[in-house]
Amino acid sequence: MTATTSASERLGSFVAGLRYEDIPRPAVEQACRMFLDAIGCALAAWREDPRKAGIARAVAEEFAAKGGASIVGGGVTHPALAALANGILANAADNDDTHKRALIHVGSVVVPAALAVCEDRGLSGRDLIVAMVAGYEVTARVGMAVMPTHYRFWHSTATNGTFGAAAAAARAMGLDAAATQAALGFAGTQAAGLNAFFETGDDSKSVHPGKAGMNGVLAARLAALGATSPPDIFGHPKGYLAAYSTEPDAAVLTRGLGETWEITQNGYKPYPSILASHSPIGAALEIVARHAPDPARIESVAINTYATVKSHFSSKQADSTMASRLSVPYCVAVALVDGKVGQPQFQPDRFQDARVRRVLDRTEVVADAELTKLYPEKFPARVVVRMQGGESLQAEMMYPKGDPQNPLSNDELAQKFRDNARDYLPAGDVEKFISAAMDLSSAATLAELTRPLRARS
């Protein structure tokens, strides 16, 4: 490579040249964990949001396209459509993983795209791991290159995730460096997804990762057919970095590429809500554990945290399941009332409950300048509950449970999968899937792994 080699060229060469033997064991293990978690989240959608799950399956099946890629809870279809459906499903219950510096739910985009192409082509578990790692490394770096100003308007999972899906699909298709570079060009010109859903929690939030996965597969397929795209999609004056960020950091696109593995920094959600709520939830639950405050005596709740929470996730319009998942005030209020936060806390009987609404009305997000300085290395929050009579209860959390600095263990991640899959897969199949997913490199093909995920007769 010369000093003038573009980031697009370097990323294309990295993806095309990546081999299983190049990937360190911690990154391989993390890919297996990401795969297990993403599939579990997709299965959970059938219980937690069956309307949206039905839409995901229907929109893919309506095209009646031929292919050998599984829809979770559906049949088989073309890889692009399977990536669309499974991306929607993986995000529907808002329980999907996150790379915090890029602020992307990587698994809900990269896993569906990689799995769809690998399964359709009859590839192995090792091939799937390589495709997922390639997609992850590209996704995270593109996200970090345009954040934080990118997040003013753009849904990072949708936009930056498109590049990861294209990289994963290109690697699974065996494209060479030049074709992979072309796929990244097509990804950049298709990347879309606006942050207009935060207040309402509408379906566009979950359509975004599905469409990013679909666009990534399309990008790789166009490149495989010889179509041409902008060769320097990142560095061009009218390219991705210039268009999608006011303060881009081009160097991060390739810094440590092949040496520093961003997939090892993946985080997993113990609570089915926006990641910004997890430190506040943790602090609120600590207050409940220590003091058991009577919700009827709560006078006010202050959530002191970093500025993005105030600007993006402070709505109290918690009048639907997804809107409540996106509302940090609601998440804290229900944690204080119920003493726990799981899928049941985002159902109508909870967000319409009078006791929860009373605490929610008294809850405010405060942008704290000192805590903002700690973000995004930390996701800090200090919750202060003032009781009638003047008593003040408070707790603080810097790294939420599931963060790489406060990780979920393999046993905890397996239990999360059990909880997500329990109403879809028989107990025996659940345990078999966990074992197979965590030992994905041993799978000669993916057929036995994916068969139980399809629609039950």
Whether residue 285 is found in the same domain as residue 142? no
- CB count, 10 Å around CB of 418? 16
Give residue 117's pLDDT.
Answer: 98
Say what the pLDDT of residue 3 is: 52
Q: Encode burial over 419-441: b for 16+ CB neighbours within 10 A, e otherwise.
A: bbbeebbeeeebeebbebbbebb
Q: Are 125 and 440 in contact (CB under 8 A)?
A: yes
pLDDT at position 199, please? 84
Distances (CA, A) of 108 to 8, 27, 115, 221: 23, 18, 11, 20
Overall domain count for the chain: 2
| Residue 443 and residue 348 share a domain | no
Q: Name the CA radius of gyration of the chain, rounded.
A: 21
The answer on 379 and 260 residing in a single domain is no
Q: Do both 308 and 327 map to the same domain?
A: yes
Are 260 and 283 in a shared domain? no
Q: 255-262: long-range contacts (C-beta < 8 A, 24 or more apart)? A: 255/141, 257/10, 257/11, 257/14, 257/137, 257/141, 258/14, 258/18, 258/22, 261/23, 261/24, 261/26, 261/27, 261/30, 261/133, 261/137, 262/99, 262/102, 262/136, 262/137, 262/140, 262/141
Q: Is residue 414 part of a domain?
A: no
283 and 214 in one domain? no
Domain hosting 328: range is 275-397
Q: Are residues 259 and 305 in the same domain?
A: no
Shared domain check, 136 and 62:
yes
Distance in angstroms (rounded) separating the CA atoms of residues 170 and 178: 11
**Which residues are CB-contacts of 118 (< 8 A; sequence separation ≥ 6)?**
124, 127, 128, 131, 172, 446
Which helix or strand (DSSP H or E) is residue 74 part of?
A: none
pLDDT tens digits, residue range 364-398? 999 999 999 999 999 999 999 999 999 999 999 99
Same domain as 52, residue 122: yes
Residues of the chain with pLDDT under 50: 1-2, 457
CA distances in angstroms from 331 to 194, 241, 336, 374, listed in the order given: 23, 34, 9, 22
- Comparing CA positions, the residue from 13, 30, 217 lying closest to residue 119 is 217
Tell me the HSE value of 152 on the side-chain side, using a 13 A CA sphere. Answer: 8
In a domain, 252, yes or no: yes
Task: Round to whole Å and give the CA distance between 159 and 407.
Answer: 27
Please name every residue paired with 98 in a beta bridge, in sequence order, or none if there are none: 267
pLDDT at residue number 455: 84
Instruction: Identify whether residues 257 and 280 lie together within a single domain.
Output: no
104 and 71 share a domain? yes
Same domain for 227 and 320? no
- Cβ-contact 402, 267 below 8 angstroms: yes
Assigned token pair, 280: 């506040």
Q: Is residue 366 in some structural domain? A: yes
- Which residues partner with 397 through β-bridges? 381
- What pTM value is reported for the model? 0.95
**In contact, 302 and 384? CB cutoff 8 Å:** yes
> What is the CB neighbour count within 10 angstroms for residue 65?
15
For residue 129, give the nearest of 10, 256, 219, 263 by alpha carbon: 263
